[in-house]
């Protein structure tokens, strides 16, 4: 089985990636490698951060195929916030619950209150790297709308506040299989799968690039 190191400490992301990819990969993440130092996420775009995360870990793990995910939520009435700051919207070290409360507070502050729907999207950029070289970047987006009160216990992050287009339930209420069939991460992985399979089947591919 080809080995794939996901450059995240977020187990939820790794689990979603594993569920979407199926059982064909030996999946690891930074929780399995406490010795590795993750890159600082200070890029202005999802792509810049994904590449930075993938290259940072790849340079520390010669020969290993590394996949990094940078993702976040863009809410139109907030000018695209929280965007690349999704993980730290309520401040450095903020948790998912703090970020959701902060988002609800920012929506409540808008005067006049914007009429529904509060259109939004999740975006994900995946970067694939080996031996300190980028093998590719891949995008995925899912459109939807925000609600003003949290619903559901599944998923993570902003899932209890986001209803994907074509559904009435939030990502946190929908079964994981449904989220994993249409999410931004699923769509970015679908775009990446050809390169992933090629690189996984051929460990020398991309070496030294």
- Residue 122 binding ligand IMP, by CB under 6 A: yes
132 vs 157 by CB, closer to ligand IMP: 157
Which range touches ligand IMP (CB under 6 A), out of 57-65, 146-154, 157-165, 190-198?
A: 157-165
Let me know if 111 is a catalytic residue: no
**Which tokens sit at 32?**
């399995």
Q: What are phi and psi of 73, to 5 degrees?
A: -110, 135
Parallel, antiparallel, or unpaired: how do β-strands 133-146 and 118-130 relate?
Answer: antiparallel
Residue 164 within binding range of ligand IMP, rule CB under 6 A: no
Edge-to-edge strand ranges of the sheet holding 26-29: 26-29, 3-6, 66-75, 118-130, 133-146, 162-164
- Yes or no: say if 199 and 205 are a contact pair by the CB < 8 Å rule: yes
Which residues from 58-117 bind ligand IMP, rule CB under 6 A?
69-73, 86-87, 96, 99
Tell me, residue by residue from 123 to 152, as one string, x for binding to ligand IMP by CB under 6 A and - for no binding: ------------------------------
Token couple for 118: 């509060």
Q: Contact 128/53 with Cβ under 8 angstroms?
A: no
List residues bridging with 29 in a β-sheet: 6
| 81 vs 205, beta carbon nearer ligand IMP | 81
Measured from each CB, the residue nearest to ligand IMP is 157
Point out the catalytic residue in the list 29, 69, 70, 159: 70
What amino acid positions are annotated as catalytic residues? 70
Contacts to ligand IMP by CB under 6 A: 10, 41, 69-73, 86-87, 96, 99, 122, 155-159, 171, 183, 185
């Amino acid at each position: 089985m080809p080995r794939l190191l996901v450059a995240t400490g977020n187990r939820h992301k790794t689990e979603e990636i594993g569920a979407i990819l199926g059982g064909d990969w030996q999946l690891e993440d930074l929780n399995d490698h406490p010795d590795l130092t993750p890159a600082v996420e200070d890029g202005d775009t999802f792509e810049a951060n994904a590449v930075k995360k993938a290259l940072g870990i790849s340079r520390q793990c010669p020969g290993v195929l590394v996949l990094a995910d940078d993702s976040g939520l863009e809410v139109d009435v907030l000018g695209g916030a929280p965007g690349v700051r999704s993980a730290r919207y309520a401040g450095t070290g903020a948790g998912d619950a703090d970020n959701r409360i902060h988002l609800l507070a920012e929506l409540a502050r808008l005067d006049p209150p914007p009429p529904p729907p509060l259109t939004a999207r999740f975006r994900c950029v995946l970067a694939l790297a080996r031996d300190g070289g980028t093998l590719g970047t891949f995008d995925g987006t899912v459109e939807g709308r925000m609600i003003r009160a949290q619903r559901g216990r599944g998923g993570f992050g902003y899932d209890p506040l986001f209803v994907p287009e074509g559904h009435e339930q939030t990502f946190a209420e929908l079964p994981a299989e449904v989220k994993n069939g249409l999410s931004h991460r699923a769509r970015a992985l679908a775009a990446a799968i050809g390169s992933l399979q090629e690189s996984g089947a051929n460990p020398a591919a991309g070496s030294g690039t």
